[in-house]
Structure 1
Amino acid sequence: MELHGRNAGHEDPCAMHSFERFQTRDIEEARLWGARVFCENELSSLDAHSPVDARMYYRSLGGIGIGRMSYGGEVTIIPSQFDTFYLVQMPLRGGECIDSSGEATYTSSTVGSVLNAQRPIRIRHGANTEKLILRVDRDLLERQCGQHLGRGVQRRIEFETAMPLDSLAGKRWMRTISWLIDYLDGEEPSASPLLTAQIEQMIVTMLLGCQRSNQSEAFLEEPRTITPAFVRRAELFVEEHAHEPITVGDIAAHAGVSTSSLYTGFRKYRNTSPMLLVKDIRLQRVREQLMRSEPGRTTVTAVAYQWGFCHLGHFTTDYKRWFGESPSETLAR
């Protein structure tokens, strides 16, 4: 595998010794560490002659986390459903068989994998396999993709599971990962918020550009025309006044155009309507508020009404379609 980093050719640029989280021969301890860093999981050894010798190196930065891990022997990992993140896996040696919703993917030093949020996964980790891992928060991925497209992501992002690492795009991706490890290895844990945001954007943009997904066509499409200023004025107005009872007339008046021009502009340049944008932003604000709230101190109904959702049935359907879980599940976290 082509990896470039500090002292390339003299030492492994992806050693990550300063990021060590654990090293253990106890399979239950390894499982608990996996639960702490990622999510609950079932972990079982498949070969009594190749005992578990698990280790993990890992560091998080904002909405991303980078690591290196191995289990020594052959094991099966069944994580609970990923709700809040995507996981990119890049074998350095050995390989895995990944079953995602009944579809098998075999990884190696030339084929990595992307595990999608909210998909059931079963991983058969080969003996003596070692891999790099990159965790990306789902909210970060959707936000960055939406900002790039100039509109909200219209459906949950689904990547192809198999990730070629020996293609031109795959080599660019691995050089970026190597750079990130090299950078973090020499940085203090408290990076500046501005720099963290820039690194997050770079990693997410690279992932969306290098790996095929259901957003690839829109993401890689060259903009045909420059978006008119009135569309952006309207979007900023909605962002700032989503908590108020605004109408399409209010938005048009602030943007300085007629309502028909406003509808035409949003349809042509954003593939949506002004009031759908209002609803999308309010749904996002509901989610943010539910994630900050404690069960027992508020209710889904109260938060929904606060943001103008009076028909709870329609609200719940829209929320689940957008975020992949019910509002009550978000509140219960």
Structure 2
Amino acid sequence: METLSFDSSSLDATEEFLSRAYTPMRIGGRPRETGARIARRAVGGLVVDKLHFDYTMAYDAACLGKVCLITLHRGTMVDTTDGRDEVYGPGETFLIAAPDRPYTGELRAARYTITMFDPALLDEVAAGGGHQRGPVSLTGFRAVDPTANRRLGSTVTFLRDQVIESPGAGGLVVATAARHLAAVTLSAFPNSATDGRPGPADSRDAGTATLRRATDFIEENAHRDIGLAEIAAAACVTPRAVQYAFNRHAGTTPLAHLRRVRLAGAHRELRSADPRAVTVTDVAAAWGFAHPGRFAAAYRKAYGTTPSATLRDAS
């Protein structure tokens, strides 16, 4: 895990730190109060930062190359990029800028969370929804409605407090959480994948042979960081064809099947583990389950007992 921390009342030091941690940036204005605090946790391509500025600060920044979400907890932020005058307040989660565009704006005594991830995850999520038309771009900066905003904010909070901050965060847990964040982001913002008509359905390859190749790949690789794109590539078909194959011949989805295989892997490991050496949380995390409560509920539904009972009975 990468960690960074910064606490300073020097504008020059703050500008230097922001330019090094994010993108080349210039701070405008000479505020009287100049306290700035920043804490970063980054792992597996997912970056979550907590920031607190005591003052009003104008900024002029180069492109980030990442999807950068801002969740504002206190104060206001104003986006002035390309002549805009968008004001964001507490409770909003929004896109600070397109990944490949510079941006300008102003912070006003703001406390907020920054969450960043690779734009390629949006492409993967879009491909999984049958919208594989090249790189996906977010075409709006605010969520499409209040419900989408709340869902996105809750996802960021979960990542910040339960995933990134958890001991030993990494591996499948972070990779799964990052894909989930990308999916929620794509559903929350207007975007090029869903604004237009989806591409034609590829049903020709959605046969039992595709299902067999896909399930074999999942069984052999469930312990790795895989998603729909990797499953489709292994089956030598499009992501949409894989989805059709699972729906038609198995009555489920590829990712639901992947979750079941991972749950079975966790079950096997709990049955053979030494309860003095490992915990349920350790096993769940190793198989990509970040939320202990949801893991326990899925486990009980599948096996009629709790994971902790299985671990206690292990021999």
TM-score band, normalised by the shorter chain?
0.5 to 0.7
The residue that corresponds to 2:301 in the other structure is none
Pair 1:99 & 2:80 matched: yes
Alignment of structure 1 residues 50-199 onto 2, 5 Å: 51-82=33-64, 84-114=65-95, 115-126=97-108, 128-149=109-130, 151=132, 153-163=133-143, 167-184=146-163, 186-189=165-168, 191=170, 193-199=171-177
The residue that corresponds to 1:215 in the other structure is 193
**Cα gap change, 1:138/1:186 in structure 2, threshold over 3 Å: closer, same or farther?**
closer
Query: Separation in 2 of the partners of 1:23 and 1:29?
Result: 10
SS of the equivalent of 1:101 reads helix
**Cα gap change, 1:75/1:175 in structure 2, threshold over 3 Å: closer, same or farther?**
same
Amino acid at match of 2:23: C
Query: Separation in 2 of the partners of 1:138 and 1:190?
Result: 22
Pair 1:228 & 2:204 matched: yes
The residue that corresponds to 1:200 in the other structure is 178
TM-score normalised to structure 2 length: 0.58
Report the number of matched residues: 214
Deviations 1:235-282 (A, max 9, x none): x9xxxxxxxxxxxxxxxxx99xxxxxx9xx99xx9xxxxxxxxxxxxx
The residue that corresponds to 1:241 in the other structure is none
Query: Separation in 2 of the partners of 1:141 and 1:224?
Result: 20
- Unaligned 5+ runs, structure 1: 1-18, 237-253, 256-261, 270-333
Q: Is the 8 A contact 2:48 2:164 kept in 1?
A: no
Q: Is the 8 A contact 1:52 1:71 kept in 2?
A: yes
Deviations 1:17-58 (A, max 9, x none): xx66111111122122212321111113343x3x21001122
The residue that corresponds to 1:313 in the other structure is none
SS of the equivalent of 2:85 reads strand
Amino acid at match of 1:23: D
Q: Is the 8 A contact 1:43 1:75 kept in 2?
A: yes
The residue that corresponds to 2:298 in the other structure is none
The residue that corresponds to 1:44 in the other structure is 28
**Cα gap change, 1:189/1:54 in structure 2, threshold over 3 Å: closer, same or farther?**
farther
**Cα gap change, 1:214/1:160 in structure 2, threshold over 3 Å: closer, same or farther?**
same
Q: Is the 8 A contact 2:47 2:117 kept in 1?
A: yes
Q: Is the 8 A contact 1:45 1:52 kept in 2?
A: no
Alignment of structure 1 residues 267-278 onto 2, 5 Å: none
**Cα gap change, 1:186/1:135 in structure 2, threshold over 3 Å: closer, same or farther?**
closer
Amino acid at match of 1:32: E
Amino acid at match of 1:38: Y
Kindly state the Cα deviation for residue 145 of structure 1 after the two structures are TM-superposed.
2.7
TM-score normalised to structure 1 length: 0.56
Deviations 1:163-197 (A, max 9, x none): 47x81111111111111112135423551x32222
What percentage of residue pairs aligned between the two structures are identical? 12
SS of the equivalent of 2:7 reads strand
**Cα gap change, 1:146/1:33 in structure 2, threshold over 3 Å: closer, same or farther?**
farther
**Cα gap change, 1:53/1:135 in structure 2, threshold over 3 Å: closer, same or farther?**
same
Deviations 1:140-167 (A, max 9, x none): 333333343362x435513312347x81
Query: Separation in 2 of the partners of 1:228 and 1:76?
Result: 55
Deviates more, 1:175-184 or 1:90-99: 175-184
**Cα gap change, 1:91/1:139 in structure 2, threshold over 3 Å: closer, same or farther?**
same
**Cα gap change, 1:138/1:226 in structure 2, threshold over 3 Å: closer, same or farther?**
closer
Cα RMSD (Å) of the superposition? Answer: 3.5
SS of the equivalent of 2:190 reads coil
**Cα gap change, 1:157/1:55 in structure 2, threshold over 3 Å: closer, same or farther?**
same
Deviations 1:59-80 (A, max 9, x none): 1132221122122111111111
**Cα gap change, 1:124/1:227 in structure 2, threshold over 3 Å: closer, same or farther?**
same
Query: Separation in 1 of the partners of 2:203 and 2:5?
Result: 47
SS of the equivalent of 1:188 reads coil
Q: Is the 8 A contact 1:92 1:109 kept in 2?
A: yes
Match of 2:6 among 22, 28, 31: 22
Q: Is the 8 A contact 1:105 1:162 kept in 2?
A: no
Q: Is the 8 A contact 1:46 1:76 kept in 2?
A: no
